[in-house]
Each structure stands twice: as structure tokens, then as C-alpha cells.
Structure 1
């Protein structure tokens, strides 16, 4: 019987291929089974403890990892972007993938990702639903604007998608019946998606006010550019802020420059764009707000800061002043706006960490939502 076993699992929707490796003897045991957590657990339990299992992150999610952990099996989920693969290896099969995972786990070369709880994953799905709905609405409105642009029709005012603009859109008429049908269908789609997004925003606001991330969301909203949807999105996407430091969180979110160095040459390129794309997008959008003039908190920020403790309030005030000052420095140096905004977003990630991490380390008495009394 194999002891001190490392198990690699190549997980698919309908099947799982497992490879058990004993480093002391080099013995391999491979099997193919149904993609049922109970079946996988039954196969793993054939090997004498201690046993450690790993599978690659992907569309199958974390159900198997949580099931195995609840059964007492040490199971990690490997970051697919960090797996080492030989450039000359042109043969890829499920058995080879499972064996590679087992070997990398035995060598300690697996970079595991955080496995969220079921409740945390539900919150993240809600945040991503909101992001998808906003993207779909933007595309639908773009279709409406494109039809008008192609036919030389221009809205006389600057601000669009107000009530007045929507009424103006409904008054537009085309001679072609086919084009008129297309126009009405596109306009109807845009209005339906706007109502859909509004309903999601209401649910996000209700959920953000009563979930495990509420203290973190309240703290993040003390920074300019962070509204309730942005704070909710950042909180649920990153989850455990204590995994990082103020300098490492920017790297995790892919906001640091890529680099190619060899010998005496060193070249830095665009940002790495690693980690959560949605969290990075939220920070980049929020960073633009800090370019606006700022001397003291507005009414919204004052009300928001009443919900947090003094330590969080002071830190947020420092962050708002610092981020605006950085924009002033970049503008004085005439630095390219997009490059400057990326740098601000990277620093803003560190300020978000400084607000959120203390709360998750047990400092709710200093920074969490305060009682109404």
C-alpha cells in the first residue's frame, strides 16, 4: 500500500482521472472515475494517510475541494497560470496531466489558490452578475447610438440616457419598416437591460449591508471613487485581504509592470494583468475620480465615515489626500494619463488593503460599522 501519497486529479465535467504518487518508492497508481465527489473520495481513501490531493483551477469550481476537505482530506486547487510545463512536451492527455500535478505537488511546486466557502462564492457570483449586466447594457446602448450615427441623427444635448434622452429616442422614426423594427427592438433591449441592472444593484446594496464583508465594504467606501457596487466587488473578489501586504496586493491584481531581464539588459513592459480582471477594472475606474479637485470630504464621504471607527476614518482621509496629491504630481510632470492612472490604481490597491486587512485580523472594534447609539 502506498504511504505519504500525493494525488493529482484531472477534473472534467463528466470524469476524473487520478494519479497517486509515492515519492519514496516511485510507485504510481492511476484510475479513471465518474466526476462524483463521493466516488473520488472513495478512491482516495484506499491509500493510507497522510494523503494530499491537488487539481487544477477551472470551470469545475471548488465543489470537489470543499467536499474532500470536509472529509478530512488535504486538498488544494492549483493556479492554472502558475503550472510549469515543458515547452517541448507536445503530448497532452488526462493521465499525463494528473501525473504532472502529482509530481509538482510532491516537489512543492504548486501555487494554490484560495478556496472560498459556499457563501463567499455566492457573493462573488452576485458581484460578477452585476459586472456582466453592466457590460451587456453598455453594448445594447452602443447599438442604439450606432443606428443613429449611421443615419446622421444627433442628440442636441450632451448628457445621454437621461429620462429626457429616452423620450427623445422614442420619438425617432425611420421610413424603412425593417429599420424601424430593428430600432425598436434595440431600444427595447436597452431599456430591459437597464431595468435588469437596476434590480441587481438593489440586491447588491441590500446584500452588502448585511453580509460577512460589510465592515470591509464600509471601510472601502470611505475612499473617493468607491461606491457600494465597487466596494462590494473588491471585497468579494479579494476575499481574504490578510493574505497580502500593501505592496504585494498590486502584484496580485496585475497592476505591476511586466519585465524581461537578461544579463545587463532590463526592459519593463505593460502591466501583467494577473489576478482578477474585474477587481483590477474597479480599481482603475475608481482611480480616475482622485484626479478631480479635493480639499475635504464631501457629504457622501462624511456620512460614510460615520459608519466606521476612528482608525479607519483617519486612514481613509490620508489615502484620499495622498492619491489626489499623486495625481497633481503626475499632471505637473505631464505624465501620460493612462500610465498615471495605472500607477494611482496600484497605490489605491495598497490603501484599500490598509483599510480592509486590519478589520479581518480582528480589529472590528476600531474600524467596523458603528452602532446607531
Structure 2
């Protein structure tokens, strides 16, 4: 294992890239009952692989083949809006982690809401996976970045299996739809994915970004002042009451209706989420994101995220941040989940490509927000 400093990471932030063999995982989106296509909740792949095996470039190439090339945009989670605010720790997290963000007090946050797909101009829809990414910046120069999605688990366990899924779900050029036989063959070969997809389908979608809750999916290790390590998954649980999207919602002709509703909601009053740890116990899988932990596991509320401002993506704001899950402060460490280092590697490749491209204004605009059509500053690496 190696720690790598990379351009644009704030002083003290730690960037870990673990070599993981021939593993690669691309993004994942949920639309309808079968999660077809390759709209993505995350983008993953292994790095520094041998010739003929999967690489970051091959995965990003596949994203571009399926979603098109959209200059300046993330190759996944392409349609988004920036949000800023603060995280107020209540001190309860300090029992598990010595990270400064869990000491009592408040730290600034730069966040991003997005649709989990690589098409930045795709109309909003009620069943696409949504994400919330945050960068917490306590005093002292360290940083904690986390990207979360609004489904309870991930559909695959390893990067290799997602690459297979991506191939199986690619649309047939003749019909524009995935081949059902190929998908069924994939699920037969990967029963853990069939089970995981069942759990995802069973969970209703929220009516918007504001009343959805967002899950880390991957496990991490919290390390406290005494050096004790505890496996944890976390979630940002919406304070706004959950309202389920109806099974047959009336069509909305506004292509940005979910984002417009989010903007209006924040203008009304600050948006809040509780940061909740789920505490793992011996035997709970930390290397398998397809399996939620038992519902009876202890949950600890460690503080409140407040987002009181939204703005369109522009140079210097969330557009140029890489929400790399391995940018971690002292007191939070990766688990043995093989997807973590793969996410980190692919985000970097995505950023390298979009950083050198002219920037197309975001589909999501906010009144009085100007988006310069200029190259990114390159001050942060992002997916």
C-alpha cells in the first residue's frame, strides 16, 4: 500500500491508491425494474494493470462509447449542482474516530448533488440513482471527502463483475435495449448481484434530492485516540420527511425538475441531514458492498450537515473537486473493500480527460449565475 500526494489535494489530505490486480468497475444507474445500461452511481477500475487487462482508460472509453463525449464534464455523475454549508459535530463520533471533524464544533463543507449517469443533458427522471458528495474541511489542512448514493447497497461485489455487467447490459444497436438473455446469463453467473438488485428494486425512490438519504455503501475503519479500530458504514439521513415516488408518476415536461425543486427548497430554508454511523460487528462483511449489514446494528448520530447555498458549477467550486473516497483524514482508514481503490484510480483518469477540455455550461442553471466557458483551473482532481 502506498500513499500518493496528487496535485490539488489540500495540505494534509491523504490520497491512497492500492494496486488491486485486474479489477475494474464502471458506473451503475437504476432506471425501471432492471438496472440496464451503464448510467452510473460510481465509476471504478483498478490501476497499473498488466497489458491486456482492464485499465482506467478502457473503462472511461466504455463510458464514452455508451454515453457520448461531453467536453468538460465528469464521465459519470455528469449532471449536477454545487452546494455549500457546514457540518456540526455533536462529539459522539469521537468515541470511534480521532478525526478532527468529529470533535464538537462546526466545519465548512463543499458538496455536490448529481444524477448518477454520464449524460449531462439527460432529462431528470424519477428512478435514476441520485448522489450527494461532500468535502469536509476542518482546521489544520486535513480533508474528508465522501461520495454517497441513495440506494441501500451496490449491485456488484468486485470491479471484474461490474465490467461483465457493463458488457451484458450494453444496448443492442438494432433495438436500443439490452439483450435480456445476456443480462439473465450475467445474473445466473453472479447470484450475489441478483440478490443485490432485488434489494435495490425493493426500496422506493424519494420524490426529490432533499428528502432522499444517501449511503456510503462501502465500509471504512474508524480509528480512535486509543488506536482502536471499528468498522463503520455511514449515511446522510434527510431531516425532511421521506416521501416515496409514486409507481406511475405524471410525466414532467421540465427536464430539470428535480434540480429546480432542490434549488427552490434550499432557497426556502437550509437543507439538513443527520450523519449516522452504522457500527459493524464481527462477521459483518467489510469487503462486499452488495450486502447491507443487519438492520439491528447500532446506529450513532454524530452530527448535522446543513446546506444553505446552491450554485451552478463553475471554476473553483465543486466542479473542480474530485470526491475521491480515499481522501481521508487521520482517524478514518479504508476497509478491505476492493472497490475503494478502484474508484480512486478511475476518478483521476476522468479528471485528466475533462481538465484538458473546453467547458460546456451545465444544464442546471440558477438565476443570476454566470458560467464562464473557460478551461478548468486544475486546482483539484475530480471525476
Q: TM-score range by the shorter chain?
A: under 0.3
What's the TM-score once normalised by structure 2's chain length? 0.21
The one of the two structures with greater contact order (alpha-carbon pairs below 8 A, sep at least 6) is: 2
Quick check: which one's strand share is greater?
Answer: 2
